[in-house]
Amino acid sequence: MSQTPPAVTVAQIAGMIDHAILKPELTRAEVDAQLDIAAEHRIFSVCVRPSDIAYAVQRLAGSGVAVGTVIGFPHGTTSTAGKVAEVRQALADGGVELDMVVNIGWVRSGLLEQVEQDIRAVVEAAEGRVVKVILETALLDDEQIAAASAAADRAGAHFVKTSTGFAGGGANLHDLAIMKANVSERVELKASGGVRSLDTVLEMLAEGVTRFGTSGTATILDDLAGRIAGSTAPGAVDETSY
């Protein structure tokens, strides 16, 4: 009945988390509370609303937590020129990673050349910063997920990412497998949308996901710390083994 300790450390998982602080109604005080959670858990980054970037950079100075943002979020049907301008302002404000939403309507219409150009314009404006392409898998079928993943790869994006968290659905292993099969080795996978438990994270990690978007950071990392501690203590109960 003794549990196998997870093969990862808390610091390793923390280093793969983009803590999402994206709801439009969040007040400054609510954003502060989330930024503090990020700093306390020494995670890789926060993913904030564009209008919060400069503020978050200032508040997180010295914490080691990077600040990223979203582009064309959450619908993806912003004009390419609009997305590019958002990127430029994000960089000026100190944002270092950019999670852009693909033009979902174009993907579903088979306008893949336009999809690719839209992504490429963002990648070029990002001047080497990491660009993640949110596919919003809940609104796409398997073929469209495959095509959008390949377009993101051709356009030079660094990650393909499942979801905004605002369209229902969310990350699942089926969609992640399609994404992985349709990008080159260079392109990483980010799971987001409904990623709220340690078990989900460990399961997706095993399938090759290298970044997690979640607002459940504290729960996930505390659970991992507890499981690591518990697995070395005699008599620890592993509920997941039942």
User: Residue type at 138?
Assistant: A
Contact range with its own copies by CB under 8 A, out of 24-32, 150-158, 187-195, 234-242: 24-32
Could you write out the DSSP letters of every residue in 22-66?
A: --TT--HHHHHHHHHHHHHTT-SEEEE-GGGHHHHHHHTTTS--E
Contact range with its own copies by CB under 8 A, out of 5-13, 73-81, 181-189, 209-217: 73-81
Q: Is 190 a catalytic residue?
A: yes
Give CA separation, 218 vs 19, 58, 124, 229, in Å: 10, 22, 34, 16
Cα gap 137→170, rounded to integer Å: 7
104 binds its own copies (CB under 8 A): yes
Closer by beta carbon to its own copies, 6 or else 50: 50
> Which of 18, 52, 93, 99 is flagged as catalytic?
99
34 binds its own copies (CB under 8 A): no
Q: What's the token pair of residue 74?
A: 């959450």
Closer by beta carbon to its own copies, 104 or else 150: 104
90 binds its own copies (CB under 8 A): yes
Closest alpha carbon to 101 in 15, 159, 54? 159
Catalytic residues: 99, 161, 190
List of residues contacting its own copies (CB under 8 A) = 22, 24-29, 31, 49-53, 73-82, 84-86, 88-90, 93, 103-106, 108-109, 111, 136, 139, 167
